[in-house]
Amino acid sequence: MFFNKNRASGVEWLVVGLGNPGDKYENTRHNVGFLTVDHIADEARVPVQKLKYRALTNTVELGGAKVLLMKPVTYMNLSGEAVGEAARFYKIPADQFEQVVAFFPMITSPDTVIVGKLAEGADEKAVTDALEAYRQSQEDTFSWYLSQNLPKVQDARTVVENGYLLFFIGENADQAEELFHAYVEAQG
C-alpha cells in the first residue's frame, strides 16, 4: 500500500508491505508485501526492525522523499490498525490513499497481478510497453520451463482505464478484467 505525500509531517509517504507473521508464512505468496518492503530496505541498506505502530518500521529516503517502510506484525486482516496508527501520527488523511500494488511472482508459475493508479502525467504507453516486455519475458521463460502455464501468459491483460492500471497473468483473465472495471467504476 502506498499513502500519499504529507510534507508537513516529516514523513511524506507510508509504504506498507502486507503479510502474516511467523515461520509458516515466511517466503510465501502470503508475504509478498513483506518481501517487497525488505527489498526496498535492502536496496537502501536499512533494516526494517523498529517496532512502532504495531509494525516493524524504518525510514528511508526514496526519490528525495522521506518514506516510512512498514511491515505490520498483525495478521494481514488486521494490518489496517497498524496503518491507521501511523497515518494518524503523521496526519496523513484517509483520502490521501493513492495506490495499491500487488505483485506475485512465483518460481513455478508466472502468475502476476499489478493494480495501481498511474501518477498524474504518467506516460501510459511507456508503462504498458514495459509490462508487455515483462509478459514477453515470461512467455519466453514458460514456453520451455513449464508449458502448462503458457496459456496464462499468452492471455495476459494490460488494461488502463480512468488513470488506473491492471496487469494480469493468471487463471480467469476475463474475470480479473471484469473485477477491475467494476473497481474503477466504483472509484467514481
Catalytic residues: 30
The vertex-75 CA angle with 73 and 76, nearest 5°, equals: 110
- The grid coordinates listed for 90 are 503523521
Do residues 30 and 20 lie in contact, with contact meaning Cβ atoms separated by under 8 Å? yes
d(CA 99, CA 48): 22
**75 vs 95: CA distance, rounded Å:** 24
Residues 6+ apart with CB under 8 A from 180: 115, 159, 161, 164, 166, 168
* Cα within 13 Å of Cα(88), Cβ side: 8
Query: Hey, what's the cell of 84?
Result: 491507521
Strand partners, 97: 3
